[in-house]
Amino acid sequence: MTFDDEKERLRRSWVANASAWTEVVREGRIESRRVATDAAIIDVVTSLRPGKVLDLGCGEGWLARALSSAGMEVWGVDASVPLVEAARGLGGGTFVAASYEQLAAGAVELPEAFDVAVANFAILEEDVSAMFTAALRLVRPDGALVIQTVHPAFAGDGPYVSGWRTETFAAFPGEWPESMPWYFRTLSDWVAVLGTHGWRLADVREPVDPRNGRALSILFICRRG
């Protein structure tokens, strides 16, 4: 399978699974989100005191709604048209259907000088250059890029090596027509990639499951390099 096949399957999965995803997020069916990771991303973004936030890979828009209800102006961008439509349905931000590649190429009209760009579980590709370039274009020079992703040390039982994995969504309720390829990255590979494309890693958070002390995710706070 080629790199482009995986990218295309990834893109398609977020169209095919849009309604199942919208339902599990809105009904609070993802336990790790409920117990720690939603609060973690809101806390980190809020602590940066931004006026204007860009939510990259916003999905059905829950984070945009949470941040805008705390007084921030939020723009959400996602490549999945049905997810952007779902986000628009509940409001709480301005939602645009576009890929990171389109943003990086300047092919989409968006305001510039965002204080913070955030990507919550929305970096799933091997090649992150478009996402980082888009954030660099759109975030002001003293702004920040905040990324939350699965914690590399607690991400399933596979070998600890970067590579493509498959999420079947079997553990989630509902009908999931397509599985999703996603690129697993070891911690050292994350650190290496975060130092590219004009960004540098400035801070890290590791929210834990309060019931068993296991890390549920990792947050990277990046500044211009």
Q: Contact residues for ligand SAM (CB under 6 A)? A: 14, 25, 57-59, 62-63, 78-80, 83, 99-100, 120-122, 124-125
Q: For residue 210, which of 31, 22, 18, 62 has the smallest C-alpha distance?
A: 31
Task: For residues 75 and 184, give the distance between their C-alpha atoms in angstroms, rounded to a whole number.
Answer: 27
What is the smallest separation between the CB atom of 88 and ligand SAM, expressed in angstroms?
Answer: 14
Q: How far is the CB of 127 from ligand SAM (least distance, A)?
A: 9
Q: How many Cβ atoms from other residues are within 10 Å of residue 166's Cβ?
A: 12
- Residue 121 beta carbon to ligand SAM: minimum distance, rounded to whole angstroms: 4
CB 25, min distance to ligand SAM, A: 5
Q: State the minimum distance, in angstroms, from the CB of residue 52 to ligand SAM.
A: 18
Whichever of 63 and 221 has its CB closer to ligand SAM, that residue is 63
Q: Which is nearer to ligand SAM, 54 or 79 (CB)?
A: 79
Instruction: Please check whether residue 38 is in contact with residue 64, taking contact to mean a CB–CB distance below 8 angstroms.
Output: no
Element at 12 (helix H, strand E): helix 3-16
Cβ closest to ligand SAM, residue 180 vs residue 201: 180
What 3-state DSSP class applies to 213? Answer: coil
Query: Of 115 and 125, which has the nearer Cβ to ligand SAM?
Result: 125
First to last CA, the chain: 35
Tell me how far CA of residue 99 lies from CA of 66, 111, 140, in angstroms: 22, 16, 20
Q: Which amino acid, 194? A: L
- Report the alpha-carbon distance of residue 9 to residue 22 in Å, rounded: 19
In the complex, residue closest to ligand SAM by CB:
59
CB-wise, 46 or 142, nearer to ligand SAM?
46
Q: Which is nearer to ligand SAM, 97 or 194 (CB)?
A: 97
Handedness of CA 94, 100, 102, 106 (dihedral sign): positive
